[in-house]
Amino acid sequence: MNFTTIGEAKRETGLSYLGGVNVSAKMIKNLKVSNNMTYAIYLAPAMVSGYNVCPNSTPECRLGCLATSGRAGMDILSGKGMVERARIKKTKLFHEHNEFFMDWLFAELTLAKAKAKRKGFDFSVRLNATSDIDWQNVKRNGKNVFEMFPDVNFYDYTKNPTKFIGKPENYHLTFSYSGRNVEMCEKLLKKGFNIATVFNVKSEKLLPKTFMGFDVINGDLTDFRPNDGNGIIIGLKWKQIANKVNNYKIKESIFVVQPTDKRCGY
């Protein structure tokens, strides 16, 4: 497969796009709260596509993945499965025709960046909305995406601590608390990195003020993370997923911090 134009790529693959701008409720908050038009890619998480795009995932996060919440969750409940099929196709395209995928990605980013500038917004990119690929190692003609767009703010959540080593300056990473990586969370916090933690609360107002001795901020105000500060907890309230049985299991698991946890300060 050889990439020529976005239109031709759509016709050849049957996909409408690789990524989109402000395609979720939280990304829309980026626009309103952080003045950012954010381009994001949603792939099929973990091993759903047959390719593992979340190598550091845990049983809890796979079961409670946000890939089954929001619009994707409604699509699953409707029985259509169109969103998941498109994500699987994109994930296979990334692995099986990577040069084609990357050329298409660069073309979409160029257009989205220009659109943000015309409308007077800053432009940011979240490549791992439902994956944890190490994009630093994905190169096209010897350059990764961060080198191709050095003036763009990229950001992601990750469970892979090695990504913090020598990461590009225009790539902001927030480490994700899983309940199984407490020691690594503490190490990264002490180095000034931030940790995203899910709390079993119904409202952001009920988030603790501190967790593990570090300040907690409301991470649901906006998804744009580069402006958060350093060495803090990004508090996120639990989001419902489509499967009600799994929803209960995860909400009560080590992945989600309970309000009564002794490490919480109010």
198 pLDDT more than 50: yes
pLDDT for 67: 53
* Across 198-203, average pLDDT: 94
Q: How do residues 88-121 score in pLDDT, each as one tens digit?
A: 999 999 999 999 999 999 999 999 999 999 999 9
Cβ contact 9:3 at 8 Å: yes
Buried b (16+ CB within 10 A) or exposed e, 226-253: eebeeebbbbbbbeebbbeebbeebbeb
CA–CA distance, 164 with 144 (Å, rounded to integer):
16
3-state secondary structure at position 124: strand
CA distances from 60 to 23, 197, 241, 252, 254 (A): 25, 13, 13, 10, 8
Q: Strand pairing of 210-211 and 214-218?
A: antiparallel
Q: What length does the chain have?
A: 266
Cβ contact 173:167 at 8 Å: yes
Question: Of residues 242 and 254, which shows the higher confidence score?
Answer: 254
pLDDT for 76: 45
pLDDT for 72: 47
Phi/psi for 157 (5° steps) reads: -100, 150
Q: How far is CA 199 from the centre of its chain?
A: 18
User: Which of 240, 229, 154 shows the shortest CA–CA distance to 200?
Assistant: 240
pLDDT for 246: 83
User: Which of 177, 165, 172 shows the shortest CA–CA distance to 56?
Assistant: 177
pLDDT for 25: 84
CA–CA distance, 128 with 146 (Å, rounded to integer):
14
Q: What is the mean pLDDT of the chain?
A: 92
CA distances from 81 to 66, 68, 71, 73, 85 (A): 15, 11, 11, 9, 6
Q: Give this prediction's pTM.
A: 0.92
Q: Strand pairing of 233-237 and 171-176?
A: unpaired
24 pLDDT band, cuts 50/70/90, is confident
